[in-house]
Chain A
Amino acid sequence: MVHDDEATEAVEIGAGADGADDGRGLGAVGAGRDFLASLADRLREGDRSPWGIGTAVVGGVVVLWSIFAADIKIARWLIAGLESGAVYSLIALGIALVYKSTRVLNYAQGELGTVPAFLAYALMVSFRWSDQDVINHPPDASRLWWATIVAVVVGAGLAVVINTFLVQRLAQASPVTSLVATAGAALLFISAEVVIFEAKAREFPRYVSGDAFSIAGEPVRWNTVLILLVLAGAVVVLATFFRTRAGVALLATAQEPFAAELSGVSVRAMSTLAWAGGGALAAIGGLLATMVFGNLRPGLVTSQYLTFALVAAVLGGLTSMVGAVVGGLLLGLVTVYANLLITGLGWDVPGPPQIAMLTVALVVLLVRPRGLFGKEA
């Protein structure tokens, strides 16, 4: 406990407003309260502008009208939205953690999830994945739990490798160059998966199956409950971490690397730590993303979730952990809403989630580039 108190103080004195806010904002106890308080602040801020009120009123009316017009079942919307939103959140959390500490937008975050998922798959089929072998020996779900541990460790390790051998080598380059480099790493991983596992979908077992309970007649799958629980767990772990000495050092490095170095923090070690954390989060996110539809194919997370997670991270404010979680859940709700709306109205418009995603990205970046919780653009 002494440790924690010291650490908190160090944040408030040494790291300043940014670090302190994040340390507290993610506190296990204070998270909800602080979030509500800041939301209230934001609402009060918005009150002063007639545009804010106008937009809110018009938006509310449109949403209410559309819920009736398209016959959207609210329970179904919330369940599906929170499920995909939680996956976006998990991936966005890793993106935000890495961006916060090294100012690199990691395009390989998705593949840091798919590669460990493939590894877990290989462990479950005892490294024999040809068509015939898989028919004779389907994936052994009883190994899933320890395969998960291996996958998470490997995800963290891969992230550290990318950081050490690619990102750090380009430390002097512009952020966009680093982004292109991580995109190259993502392409490398995808093609390695294609070469090894072939470009086809493979059945992937789930930790838990069946329905947990139902809300207003809508069944909730155990898998959805698990994803939400894992997200909550990740938030608690991160919040606890930011109260430890290492966590405070990481926040200090994120804010002012030079000053942190002067106080005896190794900036290099901190970036390794952040990337390892991002990789572990990516691995967990990748496994859970695979379980949403229960099958795995090369480039799955990058093609299905990564762009959404990037937009979610920007929506929440790239440097904010709370933002990543809230942004992911919000984006999940918005995309599922768009989907239900357009199918409900019977319109023949392709790709409603992508329309919603691009709209959200444009609105956030044009109106408020620092996102909901970010400190800077």
Chain B
Amino acid sequence: MARTERADDAITEATQPAGVEPSADGRARHAIVLADPRERWRPSPIGVIARLAVIAFYILLVIAIPHLIPGTLVNVAARAAVFAIVAVSMNVLMGYAGQVSLGHQAFVGVGAFTSAYFLSEAGMPYPFALAASLATGAGAALVLGMVALRVRGLYLALITIAYGLFAKEVIFNIRSLTGGGAGLRAPRPGVFDSDIAYVYFCAAVLGLILVFDWRLTATKAGRAIEALRDDERVASSWGINVTAYKLLAFVISGSIAGLAGALFAGIEQVVSPIDFDFTLALTFVLMTVVGGLGNRWGVIQGGIFFAILPTLLEKGHSNWHFFPFTQLNAQWEPLIGALLLILTLVQFPGGIAQQQEHLLRWLRFQPFRADPVVDPALAGRKRKRGAGPSGQASGLAGPDVPGLADARPSERGTDG
């Protein structure tokens, strides 16, 4: 759809050159205004202040949250940050590269056990353990990426399922490395030993990952990865090294997941194989899809939502004595998640990001509405093109496109 719009603008510019005199009915002038609305548009001073205020509010909220919630729930905030990091990692693979992963708990688990092993068995300093889990996560993903070079689509999804089960039953049960069923102790870094400090630590890592993710999509590597998602053959005809960039996407995703694993291990300060069941992988998939594939703010919210949902249901069940909370408890979490996933896929392929399209655009110092169309005649024409902001009729869902290219909003690229 983005391409259609650009073509529209090009046509408008071609038929109405910039130096044209405004005609009697004023159409030409409007057409020029329309030529590139995003470039010319600036928020008013009040608009700038309002946006800055909202952004500042969110930042303050993140800083204040660990102090606002009861002490027993602080770990849930850390869990939310870790899930958000995993969501970014899933997003690199599924959203940007279009490669599905139904075994992502394997990478998270590898990172968790690596960090726990180096900290409690080998007695290494924390930064080393963190770097090691990043490296092992990347290594595990590289292996899977090499398989993905040969095998794609459904077959790749199948391999990731098998890989996840293999990791849980085999790798995480090697007693000398992972402590088997009893698990391994995973101490926190000395400075961040308290629960609240650990939340800030996880949030800081999330911030770093977000900056990295932003720079990734803003540079050549990110654009190349997104290009090969849309069509590998076209991408390679543009001179993009498909093999290298596909592997790069896997390695980036795996290393972020490994890092998230190291942080995950520190939440309960113990890791055991039972934590990395296939339902965890499904949770990772559905929080990414429900968040909105390809949109980092959407998937982060998806991650946070699914991290706190069980606690939310449990607390609601014990504190609020009215329907629906009398019926719901933490056991309902996957059920609600699955319903949300199905609803997202069938009804709102863009997920949370699609729902918040206006808000997210506004926070990027752009107008609240998508297209400030001045000319009603053009407005009618524009609406007919494509399928609107939801991108439901995106033409990318051909059988050749691996991954989930069809289930993402077409506005994805305007992010960051």
> Residue among A194, A314, A351 with the most chain B CB within 10 A?
A351
CA distance A194 to B313 in the complex (A): 15
Does the CB pair A351–B166 fall under 8 Å? yes
A174 touching B397 in the complex, CB below 8 Å, given contacts A191-B333, A354-B170, A355-B170: yes
- In the complex, how many angstroms separate the beta carbon of A123 from the nearest chain B beta carbon? 23
Hey, what's the 0/1 contact readout for B56-86 against A, CB within 8 Å counting as 1?
A: 0000000000000000000000000000000
Does the CB pair A362–B335 fall under 8 Å? no
Q: Does A137 contact B (CB under 8 A)?
A: no
CA distance A86 to B154 in the complex (A): 24
> What chain A residues lie within 8 Å of B270 (beta carbons)?
none
Q: Does B48 contact A (CB under 8 A)?
A: no
Does the CB pair A357–B162 fall under 8 Å? yes
> What chain A residues lie within 8 Å of B407 (beta carbons)?
173, 177
> Residue among A176, A177, A351 with the most chain B CB within 10 A?
A176
> What chain A residues lie within 8 Å of B162 (beta carbons)?
307, 310-311, 357-358, 361
Does the CB pair A187–B279 fall under 8 Å? yes
A105 touching B332 in the complex, CB below 8 Å, given contacts A174-B401, A188-B342, A191-B338: no
Q: Does A157 contact B (CB under 8 A)?
A: no
Q: Does B240 contact A (CB under 8 A)?
A: no
From 331 to 349 in chain B, residues with beta carbon under 8 angstroms from any chain A beta carbon are 331-335, 337-339, 341-342, 345-346
CA distance A111 to B147 in the complex (A): 28
Does the CB pair B151–A184 fall under 8 Å? no
> What chain A residues lie within 8 Å of B159 (beta carbons)?
361-362, 365
- In the complex, how many angstroms separate the beta carbon of B399 from the nearest chain A beta carbon? 7
CA distance A177 to B396 in the complex (A): 13
CA distance A369 to B147 in the complex (A): 12
Q: Does B311 contact A (CB under 8 A)?
A: no
> Which candidate, A58-66, A164-172, A225-233, is the interface stretch facing chain B?
A164-172
A184 touching B342 in the complex, CB below 8 Å, given contacts A190-B279, A191-B334: yes
Does the CB pair B334–A361 fall under 8 Å? no
Chain B interface residue number, banded: 35 or more
Does the CB pair A185–B157 fall under 8 Å? no
> Which candidate, B26-34, B281-289, B369-377, is the interface stretch facing chain A?
B281-289
Q: Does A350 contact B (CB under 8 A)?
A: yes
Q: Does A175 contact B (CB under 8 A)?
A: yes
Q: Does A236 contact B (CB under 8 A)?
A: no
> What chain B residues lie within 8 Å of A181 (beta carbons)?
341-342, 345-346
Nearest residue (CB) in B for A361 is: B162
Does the CB pair B155–A365 fall under 8 Å? yes
- In the complex, how many angstroms separate the beta carbon of B151 from the nearest chain A beta carbon? 5
Q: Point out the residue from A176, A184, A350 that lies within 8 Å of B286, measured CB to CB.
A: A184
> What chain B residues lie within 8 Å of A195 (beta carbons)?
331-332, 335
- In the complex, how many angstroms separate the beta carbon of B93 from the nearest chain A beta carbon? 12
> What chain A residues lie within 8 Å of B12 (beta carbons)?
none
- In the complex, how many angstroms separate the beta carbon of B109 from the nearest chain A beta carbon? 14
Q: Does A303 contact B (CB under 8 A)?
A: yes
Q: Does B251 contact A (CB under 8 A)?
A: no
Q: Point out the residue from B174, B331, B338, B402 that lies within 8 Å of A185, measured CB to CB.
A: B338
CA distance A192 to B339 in the complex (A): 11
From 336 to 377 in chain A, residues with beta carbon under 8 angstroms from any chain B beta carbon are 348-351, 354-355, 357-358, 361-362, 365-366, 369, 377
- In the complex, how many angstroms separate the beta carbon of B226 from the nearest chain A beta carbon? 16
Does the CB pair A354–B166 fall under 8 Å? yes
Q: Main SS of chain B's interface residues?
A: helix
CA distance A175 to B173 in the complex (A): 33
> What chain B residues lie within 8 Å of A175 (beta carbons)?
153-154, 399
Q: Point out the residue from B166, B277, B335, B404 that lies within 8 Å of A191, measured CB to CB.
A: B335
> What chain B residues lie within 8 Å of A172 (beta carbons)?
397, 406
From 103 to 123 in chain A, residues with beta carbon under 8 angstroms from any chain B beta carbon are 105, 107
Q: Does B163 contact A (CB under 8 A)?
A: yes
A311 touching B397 in the complex, CB below 8 Å, given contacts A174-B404, A180-B100, A185-B342: no
CA distance A105 to B174 in the complex (A): 32
Does the CB pair B342–A354 fall under 8 Å? no
CA distance A358 to B143 in the complex (A): 13
CA distance A23 to B103 in the complex (A): 36
Hey, what's the 0/1 contact readout for B150-174 against A, CB within 8 Å counting as 1?
A: 1101110111011101100110011
Nearest residue (CB) in B for A313 is: B158
Does the CB pair A369–B155 fall under 8 Å? yes
Nearest residue (CB) in B for A377 is: B155
- In the complex, how many angstroms separate the beta carbon of A188 from the nearest chain B beta carbon? 4
> What chain B residues lie within 8 Å of A184 (beta carbons)?
282, 286, 338, 341-342, 345
Hey, what's the 0/1 contact readout for A139-172 against B, CB within 8 Å counting as 1?
A: 0000000000000000000000000001001101
A350 touching B170 in the complex, CB below 8 Å, given contacts A174-B399, A181-B345, A184-B342: yes
Q: Does B299 contact A (CB under 8 A)?
A: no
- In the complex, how many angstroms separate the beta carbon of B268 from the nearest chain A beta carbon? 19
> A187-B286, A361-B158 are known contacts; what are 20 more A-B pairs with Cβ within 8 Å?
A105-B157, A176-B154, A176-B157, A177-B345, A180-B345, A183-B282, A184-B338, A187-B279, A191-B338, A195-B331, A302-B278, A303-B277, A314-B155, A350-B169, A350-B174, A351-B166, A354-B169, A357-B165, A365-B155, A366-B147
A to B CB contacts below 8 Å, 28 in the list? A105-B154, A173-B407, A176-B403, A177-B397, A177-B406, A179-B100, A183-B102, A183-B282, A184-B282, A187-B341, A188-B342, A195-B335, A303-B278, A307-B165, A307-B278, A310-B161, A310-B162, A311-B158, A314-B158, A350-B173, A350-B174, A351-B169, A354-B165, A357-B165, A358-B162, A358-B165, A361-B159, A365-B159
Measured CB to CB, the residues of A under 8 A from B are 105, 107, 166, 169-170, 172-177, 179-181, 183-188, 190-192, 194-195, 199, 299, 302-303, 307, 310-311, 314, 348-351, 354-355, 357-358, 361-362, 365-366, 369, 377
The 3 closest A-B pairs by CB, nearest first: A350-B173, A351-B169, A188-B338
